Amino acid sequence: MRIAAIYGDEFAERVLGNLINFSKFCQGCEPVCSECRQSYGSYVGDIVGIHKVDPPFPTMIEDPEEHFKDMNFSECDLLLVVAIHHDLFASIDYIVEKTGAKAILAPIEDPTWIPPGLREQVKETLDKMGIENAFPKPFCTLELGEGKIIDEFINTYKVGRPIHYVDMRGNDIAEIGPIRSAPCGCTWYVSQRVRGKSIEDTDALFEEISRAHHSYPCTASMAKDREVGDALLHVAGYNARYAVCEATGIEDCRSAPEKTDKDGH
């Protein structure tokens, strides 16, 4: 798969860093690295273009196409669109034409990145063009079912809503690691922090997951999202906890709301 990115926020660099998996990408286990990510490999060869543009801000861009004219867009199968100016995002048809993208993946880590009205406008445009599209809020809520190419992205690069494998020794987590990681790579770090922990004291376990999630750190916004009814940082934290609960068989993931779907509902 050929992946390109157009972005206005460094969160995209973290997602791409997770896919590239360069040696210093995760430094959570310093000073002694367990090298858990070696098994993941690197997908640097699949990234064909990285384009940095203006982030969302109030000033209008009257002629988005003029803004793009000097940009050497790369042809791709899937285009990752992260936090670009609203006027540029509204010109998604022009971007698709230039890249030949068959799928658009536009994660929302901050409510200001893509307001609901703009999201629906862009989705309608892409649907009419026959282009797969998904707007996971936040990115770690991405699930299968959005289309063939987006599903291939999830399965090939093992990213989306976190899923762990686990080996238990009685009530202790003997071994744990991502089957599918949050796109930012946080799930790898969480697994390192909970290995060896007991599931008997769920309060202590959940606190460790929360500390790991914040220490990585998660970059989702603390601002309350009107659609979700909570901060997207909290939604990402609940996902991290659910992944451990599901893997270890803990039924009570208390103090977290019911799981949200890909649109935060």
Instruction: Map out the domains of the chain with their CATH numbers.
Output: 3-157 (3.40.50), 163-248 (no CATH)
At 264 the pLDDT is 47
At 97 the pLDDT is 96
φ, ψ (nearest 5 deg) of residue 29 = -100, 15
At 160 the pLDDT is 98
**CB-count burial class (<10 Å; 0-12, 13-18, 19+) for 194:** buried
At 259 the pLDDT is 47
At 218 the pLDDT is 95
Stretches in the chain below the pLDDT threshold 70: 27-28, 30-32, 254-265
Q: Which tens digit of pLDDT belongs to each residue from 52-69?
A: 998 998 889 989 988 888
φ, ψ (nearest 5 deg) of residue 224 = -70, 130
Q: Which tens digit of pLDDT belongs to each residue from 88-102?
A: 999 999 999 999 999
At 23 the pLDDT is 82
At 30 the pLDDT is 64
At 34 the pLDDT is 77
